[in-house]
Amino acid sequence: MTTRHPFLAAYDVRNPRRLRMALKVLKGYAAGRQKSVFECLLSPAEEKYLLAETEAVLDLSADRFFLIRLDPRAKVRTLGKGVAFTQDDWIYIG
């Protein structure tokens, strides 16, 4: 079984068409989201696919995309309803 690591992915897209395409890409990888910030559990291969798909959608001179790997040992603090990550045996990308 491939080990997945927690990431935060966030974007700021200026064009509505690219925004819809970026949302579609990120929804395929996200375990949770809040507006344009997504929680993702990614294997190294999934991380590469996500970066490649996102790069193909965005205009890198006008848009911003951040993929931040989180330290799984760090204490999680939440406000409101916090939901823990779950590690599935499979992930659907499509």
d(C-alpha 57, C-alpha 64), whole Å? 11
Give the per-residue pLDDT at 3. Answer: 86
pLDDT tens for residues 3-30?
A: 889 999 999 999 999 999 999 999 998 8
Q: Write down the mean pLDDT value for the chain.
A: 86
**Structural domains of the chain in order of their starting residue, each with its CATH number:** 5-69 (3.30.70.240)
Three-class HEC string of the chain = CCCCEEEEEEEECCCHHHHHHHHHHHHCCEEEEECCEEEEEECHHHHHHHHHHHHHHCCCCCCEEEEEECCCCCCCCCCCCCCCCCCCCCCCCC
User: Which neighbouring-strand residues pair with 32?
Assistant: 39
- Please give the share of the chain, as a percent, with pLDDT higher than 70: 83
